[in-house]
Amino acid sequence: MTYLAPRQGLFAIILLVSFCLQTLLLVISTDQQLSKSRALKGEQMVAQLIDEARLSLENKDRVSLSVIANRYTSEQDVTRILIKDNNDDILVPVGNAPMQQGDTIRQIATKGDAVIGSVALTLKDISKGEIIAMQWPFVIGMLLLHLLLWLIYGYLARPTKEQINAISRDISELHREQFRQLDQRGSERDYDRSSYEDDRRAADVEVTQSTVDNTATADASAAVRTLNIHGAVNSYIRGQQGATSADADTRTDTEHDSDISAGIKDDVDATSKAESAHHTENKPSETSHNQSIGKVAHGSAHLSATRTFDSVRVQIVFHDEFNMLERLAPAQRLPYLALCTQLLNQATTELLKQPLLLGVSVINEPSFDDKGASVLLKADNSHAKVALAGVMLGKLYLMLNKIIHDKHIELSRFALPAKAGVSDDAQSEAMMHLLHGIGKKEQMLILLPNAGLKQISHHVQVQSIMRPTTVHERECAIFEGGNDAMIQRLADVRNAVLMVDNQEASYS
């Protein structure tokens, strides 16, 4: 059986890399030699052209210059000749250099000390393909040489019969050594298993013996205690045999009964004390366990989607990424906050006049500060749509704030965009965290139970938060849009607010 040479494929890759490197070096060296020779040839041609065209260049004879230049462009390496006068105006352009770029040789033509013009000659670049085509015998020869080296290696590097036999012996020895190690490991494992079983049996015997000994000791102790009790009873009876009076017997019986009762009472008291101590020890843990259960139940009810609510809190904060409001001077910040407060109060008043929101009232007097503003709406009856009122109020203020913000920016005055959050009063703190965490500019977040979502489902469209990381983010929704009737109603209320207080759109 004939075996291939070891790592013959790797040797073929090495030969291929060698052939590519030799070809690359050949192309680079040939290119450098041709560039030098062409540069010398170009300089000689330019000097000769200036000598022949000096008279025509002095007279600016374009025809003679064209005839002279055409003779030089017939050369294979010349792609373009450009002749200019002493004012750098082109007299004769000959050739097609825009199609074939190359090295350009420029030289000034003089007559005595006077400059009469200049000549620029462009030589064509030699491509790498042309170089390989010029050197094709060398390239083919190197390819055949490398192929021959690969074949010679494949023939000479094949293992001989002695090497194959030696490799077979080494493999056999290796297999025998592995089998020997496996057998040794198996025997050691069997010995360990048998030793473990013997140890376990001995341990079982010891445990059994100790159990028997303990049982016997307990029985002996019980027998000793029984004998002691009987002995005490017998001695007591013998001591009382001399007494003959009924009173003595009665007294003895009474004392014996009282002793027995006292003993029983002491046992009961001791048992009661032990139980009370055990109960006292376990009481703190039971109390903490009950408190933790109560907290979990309260938290579940607090986050439950079926929780009841009768009030809605609308929170409005500024989208201030660079804390510009804190850096603003009080003379500008306070009027701006007063304007925002007035807009919010007027928006709330005008909105609650809508027949759709009958039964909804405002509990607090909202006012803006650096952290924003909060409006608490309450349902006066079970039919009031307090959740819808909160959503409409939040969207209405965002519409008003956008108009004020754009107008202030147009007048180069300070203003900030806003974002709003609508939630029931129990989730107001969670909503504030959501506004600062994931809230975006001109966006409204909604965190309401199922009853509140049902109130707004016929009027607005919401979408869930993508990739939520907390329970509140999973329960929160983003205001996406409303139906035509609600948007038109909000636009009317917005216009009414702006008409009432259009003079407050800017501040000083």
Instruction: State the residue for tokens 């192929």.
Output: 147
Report which of residues 205 and 283 the model is more confident about. Answer: 205
Which pLDDT band holds residue 506 (cuts at 50, 70, 90)? very low
Phi-psi region of 112 (alpha: psi -120 to 50; beta: other; left: phi over 0): left
In the predicted model, is pLDDT for residue 313 greater than 90?
yes
Which helix (H) or strand (E) segment holds residue 382: the answer is none
Query: Per residue in 357-388, is it b (16+ CB within 10 Å) or e — as a string?
Result: beebebeeebebeeebbbbbbbbeeeebbbbb
Which pLDDT band holds residue 61 (cuts at 50, 70, 90)? confident
In the predicted model, is pLDDT for residue 348 greater than 90?
yes
Which of 40-54, 138-152, 385-399 shows the lowest per-residue confidence on average (mean pLDDT)? Answer: 40-54
Report which of residues 447 and 54 the model is more confident about. Answer: 447
Secondary structure letter of residue 322 according to DSSP:
T
Report which of residues 82 and 364 the model is more confident about. Answer: 364
In the predicted model, is pLDDT for residue 262 greater than 80?
no
pLDDT at residue number 99: 54
What would the mean pLDDT of 107-116 be, rounded to a whole number?
81
Query: Per residue in 19-52, is it b (16+ CB within 10 Å) or e — as a string?
Result: beebbeebbeebbeebeeebeeebeebbeebbeb
In the predicted model, is pLDDT for residue 269 greater than 80?
no
What would the mean pLDDT of 374-386 be, rounded to a whole number?
91
pLDDT at residue number 172: 81
Which of 26-35, 65-74, 83-92, 185-194: highest mean pLDDT? 26-35
Report yes or no on whether pTM surpasses 0.85: no
Which helix (H) or strand (E) segment holds residue 425: the answer is none
| Euclidean distance between CA atoms 80 and 348, whole angstroms | 82
In the predicted model, is pLDDT for residue 291 greater than 60?
no
Strand ranges across the sheet with 90-95: 90-95, 78-85, 114-124, 102-111
Report which of residues 480 and 169 the model is more confident about. Answer: 480
Question: Which neighbouring-strand residues pair with 105?
Answer: 121
pLDDT at residue number 477: 93
Instruction: State the residue for tokens 């000793």.
Output: 224
Report which of residues 277 and 111 the model is more confident about. Answer: 111
| Euclidean distance between CA atoms 133 and 115, whole angstroms | 44
Which pLDDT band holds residue 79 (cuts at 50, 70, 90)? confident
pLDDT at residue number 166: 81
HSE-CB of 478 using CA atoms within 13 angstroms: 16
pLDDT at residue number 34: 83
| Euclidean distance between CA atoms 479 and 393, whole angstroms | 13
The distance from CA 72 to its chain's CA centroid, rounded to whole angstroms, is: 68
pLDDT at residue number 303: 54
Which pLDDT band holds residue 387 (cuts at 50, 70, 90)? very high
What would the mean pLDDT of 77-100 be, rounded to a whole number?
76
Which of 30-34, 57-61, 280-284 shows the lowest per-residue confidence on average (mean pLDDT)? Answer: 280-284
Instruction: State the residue for tokens 């909160």.
Output: 390
Which pLDDT band holds residue 368 (cuts at 50, 70, 90)? very high
Q: What mean pLDDT is reported for the chain?
A: 77
Which of 56-70, 219-233, 371-385 shows the lowest per-residue confidence on average (mean pLDDT)? Answer: 219-233
Report which of residues 215 and 14 the model is more confident about. Answer: 14
pLDDT at residue number 386: 92
The distance from CA 481 to its chain's CA centroid, rounded to whole angstroms, is: 30
Report which of residues 213 and 442 the model is more confident about. Answer: 442
Secondary structure letter of residue 242 according to DSSP:
T
Work out the burial of residue 337: count CB atoms within 10 Å of its CB; fewer than 13 is exposed, 13-18 middle, 19 or more buried.
buried
pLDDT at residue number 174: 82
What would the mean pLDDT of 238-257 be, rounded to a whole number?
45
Asked if 349 and 425 touch (Cβ cutoff 8 Å), the reply is no
DSSP secondary structure, 392-411, as one string: HHHHHHHHHHHHHHHHHHHT
| Euclidean distance between CA atoms 241 and 47, whole angstroms | 163
Residues 6+ apart with CB under 8 A from 305: 449, 450, 475
Asked if 450 and 306 touch (Cβ cutoff 8 Å), the reply is yes
In the predicted model, is pLDDT for residue 502 greater than 90?
no
Q: Per residue in 131-162, pLDDT tens? A: 888 888 888 999 999 999 989 988 888 888 78
